[in-house]
Structure 1
Amino acid sequence: MAEAVPPPLLIDLDNTLIDRDAAFRDALTAFLGTWQLPVPDVEWLMTVDASGYTPRQDVARAMAGRYGGRVPESAVEALLDQGAADRVVLPPETRAALERAAAGRPCVIVTNGRTAQQEAKIRRSGLDGVVHGWVVSEAVGHKKPAPEIFRAAAATVGAPLRGAWVVGDSPQADIAGAHRLGLRSVWVSGGRPWTGMPFAPTRIAHDAATAITRILDVP
């Protein structure tokens, strides 16, 4: 009889495993320099982008309104298509913690976004060599916090969803998704306080490495 697959670790990508905002900030700074635009505009652009939660077309529209004919539409499209995927980095401590976790349970990335962009980040950062699989919202037709995307993630590795842990930085997407399914969760806070939600994560950790380590410490 085949050994049962243990419950998985379902972990977010952007601003959890990788610092998506830092990578995008670098890309924006380079973009502004290339087109001789005000470098302080990077703060405005980061606000408009809202950590990737603003729809791509809305960001493009805001940039067109601000920069008019100074920047070709194709240059804006290229920036948003790439999404700084070529600049993301997996911190060594996060990789080490994830490798420890992956030695004992399936680890699956669960991320909202466009498939090509998110898979480019996964491969560029080397995460494809650590995790057992991933699901991207565009590919499965469901976005976090919808239960379907978490079920698809568990199915990817043939693991039961019951008993799984969810790790992520978004209260609305990651922790709410775990709450809907009755799963345990760790919120990656980055130093933010947990407020304004009718539910709470099982644990709170400053970063992904600490979050993963706290899960490993659970009997």
Structure 2
Amino acid sequence: MLLLVDLDNTLVDRASAFDQWAKEFVRRLGRAPGDADWLIGADRDGYESRLSLAGQMKIKFGLNHDIEALVQILLFEHVDLMTMDAQNLRALKEAREAGWLIGIATNGTTAQQTRKIDRLGLNNYTDAIVISEEAGVSKPEREIFEIAAHRLHGEPGNGWMVGDHPIADIEGGRKAGLSTGWVSRGRAWPHAEATPVLTGLTTAEVIDTIVRRASR
């Protein structure tokens, strides 16, 4: 049984970490607090390219940094602020004990995502990790899910994809033949079609439900 799980805003709380960093970054610049709201919105929950966001920041804040320096700031300065709900680790541990093979499937740069995984000890709870940069393909393309399934010595049709993003995780996983579990984070499902197999408020809730269903 295969269980693929997204990283940012699924296993780890990327949103809170970035929000905290953005407020501090704007404070250091001596800018108004509302500029942090602009930066958080422009980030688009991490889905705005770092190069694009760096360019916007340079113009918005009149920065002297070169673009590459800003990209590095965006990639790494918030990582040490990331936290993870202990219930997510508990759910992963219990899923593995129940016989599930667990893989992380995440978009992002290899250096950044590996740093998050290492910092929070997720290697101890997973059997494979696929990062879009090293895989050469990003979610929602089906190939990244197939690569993850292959590294777990299985097929997508025998597994699940759990994530918070309706397109990258849920639509992508569905098209790859995976059953899907959506981590809503309190949001309503935004699409009329292609709904997830199940929905939960938290990652632990979704994983627990999947494991219980399989044990019936």
Query: Same fold, TM exceeding 0.5?
Result: yes
Name the amino acid aligned to 1:159: G
Residue 25 (structure 1) aligns with: 19
Unaligned 5+ runs, structure 1: 1-6
Query: Deviation digits for residues 148-178 of structure 1, max 9, x if unmatched?
Result: 1011111112223222011000111111112
**Structure 2 residue 139 is the aligned partner of structure 1 residue 144:** yes
2:182 match: secondary structure: strand
> In 2, Cα distance between the equivalents of 1:122 and 1:216?
23
Unaligned 5+ runs, structure 2: none
Name the amino acid aligned to 1:72: H
> In 1, Cα distance between the equivalents of 2:139 and 2:57?
27
Residue 116 (structure 1) aligns with: 111
2:65 to 59, 72, 76: 72
2:161 match: secondary structure: strand
Name the amino acid aligned to 1:99: K
Query: Deviation digits for residues 97-145 of structure 1, max 9, x if unmatched?
Result: 1111122211100001111101111111111111112100111111111
Identical columns (%): 35
How far did residue 38 of structure 1 move? 2.0
1:203 to 198, 202, 213: 198
Residue 4 (structure 1) aligns with: none
> In 2, Cα distance between the equivalents of 1:158 and 1:131?
14
**Structure 2 residue 156 is the aligned partner of structure 1 residue 170:** no
2:181 to 181, 186, 199: 186
2:157 match: secondary structure: coil
Deviates more, 1:168-177 or 1:35-44: 35-44
Deviates more, 1:38-47 or 1:111-120: 38-47
Contact 2:146 2:176 in 1 (8 A): no
Residue 132 (structure 1) aligns with: 127
> In 2, Cα distance between the equivalents of 1:141 and 1:198?
29
Contact 1:85 1:118 in 2 (8 A): no
Contact 1:106 1:157 in 2 (8 A): yes
Q: How many residues align?
A: 212
In the TM superposition, what are the counterparts of 1:30-45 in structure 2 within 5 Å? 30-45=24-39
Structure 1 pair 168–64 and aligned structure 2 pair: CA distance change class (3 A): same
Name the amino acid aligned to 1:45: L
> In 1, Cα distance between the equivalents of 2:117 and 2:58?
30
Name the amino acid aligned to 2:30: Q
Residue 50 (structure 1) aligns with: 44
Contact 1:90 1:127 in 2 (8 A): no
> In 1, Cα distance between the equivalents of 2:206 and 2:114?
23
Contact 1:135 1:153 in 2 (8 A): yes
> In 2, Cα distance between the equivalents of 1:160 and 1:215?
17
Contact 1:167 1:174 in 2 (8 A): yes
2:80 match: secondary structure: coil
How far did residue 195 of structure 1 move? 2.7
**Structure 1 segments of 4+ aligned residues over 4 angstroms from their partners:** none
Residue 89 (structure 1) aligns with: 83
> In 2, Cα distance between the equivalents of 1:161 and 1:168?
15
How far did residue 81 of structure 1 move? 2.6
CA RMSD for the aligned pairs?
1.5
Query: Deviation digits for residues 50-74 of structure 1, max 9, x if unmatched?
Result: 01111111101111111114x5336
1:22 match: secondary structure: helix
1:201 match: secondary structure: coil
Name the amino acid aligned to 1:51: D
